[in-house]
Structure 1
Amino acid sequence: MVQPPPLQPGTLYLVATPIGNLEDITLRALRTLRECDLVAAEDTRRTGQLLKHYEISKPLLSYFQFNEARRSDELLERLKRGEKIALVTDAGSPGISDPGQRVVAAAIAAGLRVEPVPGPCALIAALTASGLPTDEFHFIGFLPHKSGQRRKQLESLKGYAGTLVLYESPYRIEKLLEELNEVFPDRQVVLARELTKKFEQFLRRSPSELLAVVRERRLKGEFVVLVGEAEEKI
């Protein structure tokens, strides 16, 4: 078997971590976490549990939404000194509706190497199993919290030809479905929740039908919400 190359000094590694099922972590991700000098994590407690599960002991540094600017400068200095740094989020790929983009852009601007270590991603997992078209899609992430801004953004997406993909929390999923029922009443919507976990579920119905289900069952878990294309009228 060909031995993988060692980690390169002064490199920022973007390591994808499981979104629910710990078996989804890649061999390369585990090797990167074992060989790096530092793990920058969105939540050091959660990442600490992940590392402990795989018997990995590494220094942890918090890197989250409200300290990105300060931490990015610190990480750049450490990279310039030749440290090998792994950046992880709570789940999935860094920078996808999670912290990461700021330090990646700064590292590139400084001429430093950035290397992705791909793996689990809720967006791709939900899209590929949704049954909706995958050849063209638009990822929105989380909509703004304010109703006016949310509605304006949804209205702006009416003319988009592909599948729309959003993230939503269990606390706002009912509100989102109400908005989808107003803006996209005739489109198929897929709710994907608890992805890769024991109670993973896909619900495929119209916005109004899904709204009735959510109001009746009070579904829990983080959601990936997919909106199908408008049907052509002949």
Structure 2
Amino acid sequence: MKLYLVPTPIGNLADMTYRAVNVLNEVDLILAEDTRTSGKLLQHYEIRTPMLSYHMHNEHKIVENVVNRIKNGESMALITDAGSPGISDPGFLITRKLLENGLDVEALPGATAFVPALVVSGLPCDKFVFEGFLPVKKGRQKRLEFLKDEKRTIIFYESPHKLLKTLTDFKNHYGGDTQVSISREITKMFEEHVRGTVDEALLFFDKKKPKGEFVISISIQ
């Protein structure tokens, strides 16, 4: 009668913890953001627990059924494609529903992309704020302007096809000399960190087409 929130590797499969493997072996069902992606991970660790697709497009439809099954004695684990459930990934809704029903939720510690990106950025990491993905259109400029007075290091996630747009927005709102660190493919073979000013980052990625998933750390003050 419990849900485990289980982090999965963000790239390097060796980052899976022993405890995570044990939990995934022991639960009755694994809720997976993408069963194809998760299937490769489970196969690698010879985990044969059945999976059920659980993602942002169906979670509102099936969450009550999942809650009822846990209430009736099943144990489950939630995993996403990479990283910790609930961090820019499904996890919040089901956690809230279970807690509202007096059921137990346990989170295992593990991989998440923004922590290694922050600590190697060279920017202050004693205090920081995690923003995740910026709004695509509505509210985007308003959010960027709201953050203008933020004194802590700010962390964003970004996709490759929006990276240059986001850096241009940073230049317009915060200035081209603002310090930034951009990390891609963390823990993978082509891990890369680009550090410098926003102008320097724009020049770099204008010449080198952005590929992979990005974590941006920026210090406005």
- TM above 0.5: yes
Encode CA deviations 1:8-46: one digit per residue, 9 max, x unaligned: xx1000000000000101111000001111000100111
Report SS of the residue matched to 1:95.
coil
> Which of 96, 115, 137 pairs up with 1:124?
115
Q: CA deviation at 1:193?
A: 0.3
Q: 1:1-234, aligned counterparts within 5 Å?
A: 10-146=1-137, 149-185=139-175, 186-230=177-221
TM-score, structure 1 normalization: 0.92
CA distance in 2, matches of 1:131, 1:38: 41
- C-alpha distance in 1 between matches for 2:172 and 2:197: 11
Q: TM-score scaled by structure 2?
A: 0.97
- Give the unaligned 5+ runs of structure 2: none
CA RMSD of aligned residues (A): 0.9
Between the aligned partners of 2:72 and 2:55, the Cα distance in structure 1 is: 22
Query: 2:113 & 2:157 partners in 1: Cα distance?
Result: 9
Paired positions, count? 220
Identity %: 48
What CA distance in whole angstroms lies between the structure 2 residues aligned with 1:184 and 1:201? Answer: 24
Provide the C-alpha distance between the structure 1 equivalents of 2:73 and 2:123, rounded to a whole number of angstroms: 45
Moved over 2 A (4+): none
Secondary structure at the counterpart of residue 125 of structure 1? helix
Structure 2 CA distance for aligned equivalents of residues 123 and 87 of structure 1? 20
Q: Deviation string for 1:40-80 (max 9, x for gaps)? A: 01001111110001111011101111111122112101110
Aligned-partner Cα distance in 2 for 1:183–1:127: 22
Alignment partner, residue 5 of structure 1: none
Distance in structure 1 (CA, Å) of the matches to 2:38 and 2:149? 40
Cα distance in 1 between the residues matched to 2:134 and 2:102: 33
Q: What amino acid is aligned across from residue 150 of structure 1 in structure 2? A: R
SS state of the match for residue 160, structure 2?
A: coil
